[in-house]
Amino acid sequence: MTTPTTPNPARPEPDLGRTVERRALRDGVYDAILELLLEGRVKPGASLSIDALARQLGVSPTPVREAMVQLEHTGLVTRAALKGYRVASPLSADRMSELVDARTILEVAAVRGAVPMSDAALLELKAAHSDHVMAAEYVKRVRATSDETSWPVIRRYYTADWAFHRVILHHCGNQYLLQLAEGLSPQVHRMRQSLGHGLTDVDQAVAEHGVILEAIATGDDQRAEDAMRAHLLGVRARSLAES
């Protein structure tokens, strides 16, 4: 006969509701600080006060401190003993080149695994490409009437650009490639910050995505690999030219 297990008063059951709530708060704080950094409202090298950020966000210092630890792992912020956190310096030309090389290794492997692509996945990729085209057209319309491109416009474009790549990564048959690529994503944003959010290559990027899409749609895996490699080599060349 099985004896019922009785709770141990010395070891109270965890409050899962409170744990989830705290994690949601931490993630929300992380997203808010990340947005602050990507928008460029805090310049490279500037100090990031945990207490000041907590007051600004209306939270206690604890979730801010936890978020800063996460951000340190992305390379967007740095921490020095007795000096606290600072916004990381812009990426050097060498680091930019290494970053795009890493993306190329991951994404060429991903497109190789994604071809042949199912009809449903191909429709998803075509929709992502259409969104990217529309975001690029919007950028050009804004730039035609203004010398500066606002962060919401920039964010919309880069979100659409990444969404195209993410569909391929999601359907490549290797979840670790997607995880690794998403781990590089904050550094890619950091590279864009280093370039001042110029958005000078929207036409080239859209055209290159179109070549990748066409190759995938025809089931030509070698052509798709070559197109992805050419696209990312183009990204590297244009980035280094602007740095």
Task: Specify the pTM.
Answer: 0.79
CB 29 within 8 A of CB 50: no
Q: How far apart are CA 181 and CA 166, in angstroms?
A: 9
Single-letter amino acid, residue 102: A
CB-based contacts of 132, cutoff 8 Å, min separation 6: 157, 160, 161, 163, 164, 205, 206, 209
Q: How confident is the model at residue 7 (pLDDT cuts 50, 70, 90)?
A: low
Q: How far apart are CA 80 and CA 83, in angstroms?
A: 5
Q: What is the pLDDT of residues 8-62, one digit of tens each?
A: 555 555 554 555 566 778 788 988 898 888 777 788 889 999 999 999 999 999 9
Q: What is the pLDDT of residues 208-238, one digit of tens each?
A: 999 999 999 999 999 999 999 999 999 999 8
Q: Which two tokens stand for residue 27?
A: 């993630």
Does the structure show a pLDDT above 60 at 105? yes
pLDDT for the residue numbered 119: 97
